[in-house]
Structure 1
Amino acid sequence: MVKQKEEKSLLLLEGSLRAIPFNIVLSSLLAAILLYHDTPVALVGFWLFSIVLVSLIRWFFCFYVIRKGLLHKSSLLITFVSLTLLMGTVWGASYWLTLPYLSQPNEFIVILVLGGMSAGSIASLSAYLPAYYAYIIPMFLPVIAYNFYIMNPDRAILALMFLLFIIMLIISAILNHRLLNQSLLLSNEKEKLIDKLHLLSITDPLTGAYNRRHFQSILEQELSKKRTNQSLLTLILVDVDNFKEINDKFGHPHGDRVLIETVQQLKKAFRREHDRLFRLGGDEFCIVLNNQSVQEIISLCQELVKIYPSNHMDGSFITLSIGILPIPVDSKANYDRIISSVDNALYKAKQSGKAKIVTFQSIN
């Protein structure tokens, strides 16, 4: 909901950035017409100056909010609507200020310009309906009020037509607003679905750990960053000892529970923000660690091996074998060599009697 609100605010401001210059262009053309028909220069100049000033304030406000990323501010829409109301009021003033100097055809030119501005603003302001209302109501209120006020049947009919025109514009704005909401909703649902599909493509469905394909991608990224940042990278390869016998003896459902519990224990042991856990296949897991000393990692692994057998529902004695591969800052080893080295460390741990930790000493 918050994201959708910010998206609508962004559309509102971006649309206004594009539309505001037209206020200056059309007001300048209207001012030229008014001056041509002998409307006082001071009056037209004051009105045009007001249009330009308010337009610039609105434009820089929209630009500043977008540039500074202030879309979440609660006062944003209040300020925007206030400035839009001021803009509509200045446009409406063009009618009642110049009316004493206008012939009927010129009066209709002013009304035509107001109608064009109010219809054109649907695209930019319907993202937030109060802003649209604030723009068109003060724009046409003087026209309707004046034509009803003079108590002339023809003028009353004209005022009624203007009122119906505003109602039609409001209905159009509401329909456009609903269509925009549906589009944003569908867009957000699409993004959520894409994110969900992406997550499914990189995670193991049983344990929730990242899968092997994602491991290769992340490891290559980390190796690239390590060379750039000169940082320490360490891989830990973990294997559940005698897992095949566990599956054969207790069944696959129990084996699945063992894997899930293993992941939970690994997440508790390696819980820093940037520690990442992968299931490479079967009962084999890998943890990728950044900027952590080898001694600290060994201590964590020793504690994990120590407490792991006591953390199973049926009390069965299950152990872990662990291979550790610190990758030196100046190492130029590629992906295949790294995997081979950490596999070798894990193999030695299992050959040493299981429930062991072996650190690969050197990889260049």
Structure 2
Amino acid sequence: MRYTIDTKDCRDLKLTSLHKEKIEFLLEGSLRAIPFNIILAVLLALELLYWNVPLSMVLWITPVILLSTFKWFFCHYLFKKERYEHPHILIYFTLLTLTIGVAWGSFYCLMFPYISVGQEFIIVLMLGGLSAGAIASLSVYLPAYYAYVSPIFFQLIVYNYWIYKEERIVLAFMFIFFFIVLNFSARMNNSLLNKVFLLSREKEKLIDDLETLSITDALTGLYNRRYFQLILQKEYENAQRNNYTIVLVSIDVDNFKLINDNLGHTYGDNFLIFVAGLLKKSFRRANDTICRVGGDEFFVILVNQTIENSLAVCYSFNKQFNNKKSKKKSIMKDVTLSMGIVSTPSNKFKIDNLIALADEALYQAKNEGKNKIVVKEWNDSP
């Protein structure tokens, strides 16, 4: 059976896929970036101790290390479990990122009275590097990036302006300028990432469309011969593994040439579309596979179904065909259906033999006067 998805469902599916990809990118980027955040915090703590900064003050960097570690495990859990659909995942992630940003900014303010200008420069340089580096991992979701850099620079700017010395005010304005540049860069990177995600999604959609075209009959919308061979092989493997039967139905339109010769090829094409529609209405199980393998030739693969049930469906289909085909054209009384049915009660069979036996049953139906259904018994010996 073939099902269609409306345009709105496609848009929703596309948005959901993009949302998942962005969260996955955000978590994966954070897993790579957080260890550097922790290493820098530890190195900075050791450096401060080397500068004889009181241990009680150096310990204020502990919240940065603990929060970063917790965030790493949080991201690792979500990434491994693929919990991207959680409605509040971005809120939790942003809040964690915000607390780390607040911790870094607060640490700078607390250390200021105990460090020299040169040592302050190293801390500021490190914070600037962390903020710039976070563009790569956080700019895919701008609220998270703003949550990280805003508290850092807000505290740097306010603290330096609060000291109210000329050089400190100038430094505060430099921080403002750098903050603006960082935000501009983050927006640019976010825009580029969105385009990459969209292009990637479009590429996948095109590949899916091409794959669909490669297995679909252009006229009837049924599966084509290529897909018939692929799916029969797959069902064969499943039948061997699970020990169930496969029923193969070979269908041919009798005297179809009369339609093309007397009514034209356009009428003939429309007639084949009509037959395809009846097939889809008759063989309605989800795992029923209908294929057009030639001009007026069709195959139906029925899995895990008895020969009796399959025969009943075929008789019903033939009855609908005779009742619904056009009665206005005199030649249509000679246009009928011949069918050959073969079942595999054993899982020991060869695909080529199965197809050959179905065709043999079909040819027998035609040779016996057409408009018949012939069932061939499977023999395990071929």
Q: Match of 1:139, SS?
A: helix
Question: Partner of 2:71: helix, strand, or coil?
Answer: helix
**How much has 1:314 moved relative to structure 2?**
5.9
> Counterpart of 2:290 in 1: which secondary structure?
strand
| Matching residue of 1:342 | 358
Instruction: Give the CA deviation at 1:180.
Output: 0.6
Residue 176 of structure 2: aligned partner: 163
Counterpart residue identity of residue 324, structure 1: I
Is the Cα contact below 8 Å between 1:331 and 1:363 reproduced in 2? no
Contact 1:320 1:356 in 2 (8 A): yes
Q: Is the Cα contact below 8 Å between 2:38 and 2:69 reproduced in 1?
A: no
Q: Which residue is 1:274 aligned to?
A: 287
Residue 175 (1) aligns with residue 178 (2): no
Question: In structure 2, the residue corresponding to 1:114 is in which secondary structure?
Answer: helix
The two structures have a TM-score, normalised by structure 2, of: 0.91
Query: 1:149 — aligned with what?
Result: 162
Q: Distance in 1 between matches of 2:160 and 2:61?
A: 24
Supply the distance in 2 between the matched residues of 1:148 and 1:264 (Cα, whole angstroms): 77
Partner of 1:95: 108
The amino acid across from 1:253 in the alignment is T
Paired position in structure 1 for 2:26: 12
Which stretch of structure 1 is more off in the superposition, 291-300 or 353-362? 353-362
Deviation at 1:263, TM superposition (A): 0.9
| 1:327 is the counterpart of 2:344 | yes
Q: 1:155-211 deviations in whole A, cap 9, x for unaligned?
A: 111111111111111111111111111111111111111111111111110011111
Alignment check: 8 A CA contact 1:129 1:177 kept: yes
Distance 1:296 1:37, change over 3 A: same
Residue type matched to 2:141 in 1?
A: Y
CA shift for structure 1 position 320: 1.7
Contact kept? 1:24, 1:51, Cα under 8 Å = yes
Give the corresponding residue for 2:223: 210
> In 1, are the aligned partners of 2:342 and 2:377 still within 8 Å (CA)?
yes
Q: Sequence identity of aligned pairs in percent?
A: 48
Aligned residues: 362
Paired residue for 2:243?
A: 230
Q: Please give the alpha-carbon distance, in whole angstroms, between the structure 1 residues aligned to 2:101 and 2:94.
A: 10
**CA contact 1:328–1:363 (8 Å) conserved in 2:** no
Q: Per-residue CA shift, 1:30-85, capped at 9, x if unaligned?
A: 1111111222212322x332122211221121122122222122211111111110
Partner of 2:368 in structure 1?
352
Following superposition, the deviation at residue 321 of structure 1 comes to 1.4
Q: CA–CA distance in 2 between the matches of 1:338 and 1:300?
A: 20
Deviations along 1:261-302, whole A, 9 cap, x unmatched? 111111111111111111010101011111111111111111
Task: Name the SS for the 2:145 alignment partner.
Answer: helix
Runs of 5+ consecutive residues of structure 1 not aligned to the other structure: none
Contact 1:275 1:287 in 2 (8 A): yes
Matches within 5 A, 1:296-307: 296-307=309-320
Listed one character per residue, the Cα deviations across residues 221-250 of structure 1 (whole Å, up to 9, x for unaligned) are: 221222122121111111112111111111
Q: CA deviation at 1:350?
A: 1.9
* 1-structure distance, mates of 2:27, 2:101: 17
| Alpha-carbon distance between aligned partners in 2 of 1:101 and 1:285, rounded to the nearest angstrom | 86
Structure 2 residue aligned with 1:361:
377
CA–CA distance in structure 1, aligned partners of residues 120 and 257 of structure 2: 91
Out of 348-357 and 71-80, give the one that drifted further.
Answer: 348-357
Q: Which runs of 5+ in 2 are unaligned?
A: 1-14
1:259 Cα deviation after fit: 0.7
Cα distance in 2, alignment partners of residues 42 and 296 from structure 1: 83
Runs of 4+ residues over 6 Å off in structure 1 = none
Q: CA–CA distance in 1 between the matches of 2:302 and 2:66?
A: 57
Which TM-score applies when normalising by structure 1?
A: 0.96
User: Which whole-Å CA distance do the structure 2 matches of 1:55 and 1:72 have between them?
Assistant: 23
Root mean square deviation, CA, Å: 1.4
Is the CA contact (8 Å cut-off) linking 2:215 and 2:227 kept in structure 1? yes
Task: Give the letter for the 1:243 counterpart.
Answer: F
Q: In the alignment, residue 185 of structure 1 is paired with which amino acid?
A: L
Which residue of structure 1 aligns with residue 10 of structure 2?
none
Secondary structure at the aligned position of 2:293 is classed as: strand
